[in-house]
Amino acid sequence: MHTRTLAIPLALIVALTLAVPTLAFQSQGVWQQVNTPSTPGNLMGHSLVVIDNDVYLFGGVAPSTEHAGDAPAQTLSNALYKYDHNIQKWIEQTPGLAPPARGNHAASVVDGKMVIHGGTDGATVLNDLWVYDPATKTWTEKTPSGPKPPALQYHKAVVSNGQMYLVGGTTSAGTPSDQLWAYDTTASSWTQKTSYPGPYGGTYGASVFTPGSDIMVGGATGDTYYVYNPGTNSWEAKTATNFPNRESPGTAQVGSTGYIFGGRDTATGEYGVESWKADLSGGTTIWEPLPPVMPNIQPDVVLIPEAHSPTSPIWMCAFPDAAQEVEPAVLLYGRSWTYAAGSHNPILGDAATWLFWPGGYAAGPLDGIVVWPEDAVVEVNHSHVFNAAGRDANGYYVPITPTWGATGGAIDNLGRYTAGDWPGTYYVAAEAPPAKSPIMLRDQVAVTVTGTETCPDLPPTSSWSHTFAVTGTYSYHDRANPDHTGSVVVNPALKRPSATYEVSITNTGFDPVQVVIAPNDTVNWTNDDTVTHAVVGGEYKQYYYVYLPLVLKN
């Protein structure tokens, strides 16, 4: 385990403006990781909104298992967290009544309250409506009379003229929805508006913005986008330049500037790490790529924002050569992932919190590396994705292509660590060269490999063997008799061909009690007693432990 005051890795959001300080060169935005002491967990499909300069995160889907070759099991959350930028910490809120757990829901803020709609509970697509009041820290379920939207997930919520509009999504039948609904919080009623005319119904949340009072929808339809006018209840097709074709991107609006982060390319089916911005104030919308890509390991390990909000927090940020300035910020929180070879089942990395400062300018030279997660726990023969990112002297993100190394297992060039078959405490490290320096920058984190290496019950005259490949001292015990103890010391100084060593289990203990071997030597435990025994390695716990955990750290 290591400690840092500032770190680096994601998922959403957004907007308001203030004067950007006059800087030496053109503002283009910088990324910065917030290494929070507490997090909402490894979530996807959660919502993020901003209320009174605090970010609120609700719900989401958390895979409960993750390893190569298997689709992760999933659990859903109904927890609510608030991100306090003053202390850089996520704080769980504890309202008494809360909505049922869900993910892929829509959320927005109306009159200082968070409104959520729909999503899925894992079995059913929902169409319930809940309001959270941060002043009283209470949830209230709303049950408007009259017509209401269908059950939806993957839809977006956006606010215009004090009403929340639902755009796109998929129904309980899995079909795209082109319906547009407006919710009036004062009357607590829904009104169906003119249907969205774009293809796919905006299924997976094309980019959604509110330039002025209009609602702009696009991003999965090429350069054609659509603008809804609430006053006339009508849509107008328009053409943008270089509109990124993305499904489920992260979207942010800072003043009149719109931002799009990541998302799935509708042409290639791949997730990207590119970001774009455009002036939404009028005329032809021209999208331009941002120089700093989203924080990532490799192009197919992407941190994806999961929700949209039409407002952004205003926080303090110190840019190089400038005093602290009040700046708008975009907060993203989410997971990274990659795929097992030949499989479309994701291997998921840990979530992280990132800030994007639109008023910042280019990060400086590489000055350090940060690897996360810290103190990961991985089952034997299972996999976990580790992330690494560079930072400059001021803590801003610098893209790197790290060289990975690990003990206790293998790690590929994407940071995908696959544990070996021996439990223990090991490390994962990343290195990258700084500019114009021969000294490699490095960071490493601990990884604990857990699980069971089954040792059979040994009837009289039977044996159990293991070949030790890693240096260390391996304690062992007799499962049938807690007074029987011993150890294997693997000594790298011993230079000899591989050999086999015999340890007898008798009615009085092990003989010899300690064995000193070289790496790749084999030890046989043979039962020379007249009753059945079994071997347990590591600290003795209870008779029912039948495994050999090895606690090693190189």
- pLDDT > 90 fraction of the chain, expressed in percent and rounded: 32
Higher pLDDT, 201 or 326: 326
Is the confidence at residue 523, as pLDDT, over 60?
Answer: yes
Confidence check: pLDDT of 311 > 70: no
Q: For position 39, what pLDDT does the model report?
A: 84
List the end-to-end C-alpha distance of the chain, in Å, as a whole number: 14
Confidence bin at 21 (pLDDT 50/70/90)? very low
pLDDT digits (tens, 9 = 90+) for 86-133: 888 999 998 888 999 999 999 999 999 999 999 999 999 999 999 999
pLDDT > 70: what percent of the chain?
81
* Average pLDDT of the segment spanning 145-166: 93
pLDDT at 450: 77
Closest alpha carbon to 285 in 236, 230, 234, 225 = 225
pLDDT of residue 263: 79
- For the stretch 312-352, pLDDT in tens is 888 888 776 666 788 899 898 888 776 666 666 666 778 88
Question: Domain 376-450, what fold?
Answer: Immunoglobulin-like (2.60.40)
Q: How far apart are CA 64 and CA 72, in angstroms?
A: 7
Check whether domain 30-362 has CATH 3.30.1490.20, yes or no: no
Contact status, residue 257 vs residue 280, Cβ threshold 8 Å: yes
Residue 19: burial class (beta carbons within 10 Å; 0-12, 13-18, 19+): exposed
Domain ranges of the chain: 30-362, 376-450, 463-537
pLDDT tens by residue, 387-431: 888 999 888 999 888 999 998 889 988 888 998 867 778 899 999
Does the pLDDT of residue 298 top 70, yes or no?
no
Ranges 45-49, 61-65, 493-497: which has the least confidence: 61-65
Q: Which residue has the higher pLDDT, 193 or 295?
A: 193
Decide if pLDDT at 549 tops 50.
Answer: no
Task: Kindly tell me if the per-residue pLDDT of 306 is higher than 80.
Answer: no
pTM: 0.77
Residues 6 or more apart whose CB falls under 8 angstroms from that of 353 comprise: 9, 10, 33, 34, 35, 36, 39, 83, 90, 331, 332, 333
Confidence of residue 182 (pLDDT cuts 50, 70, 90): very high
Amino acid making up residue 89: K
For the CA atoms of the chain, what is the radius of gyration?
28
For 499-521, write each residue's pLDDT tens digit: 999 999 888 889 999 999 998 88
Predicted local confidence at residue 347, as pLDDT: 67
CA angle 63, 90, 425 (to 5 degrees): 55
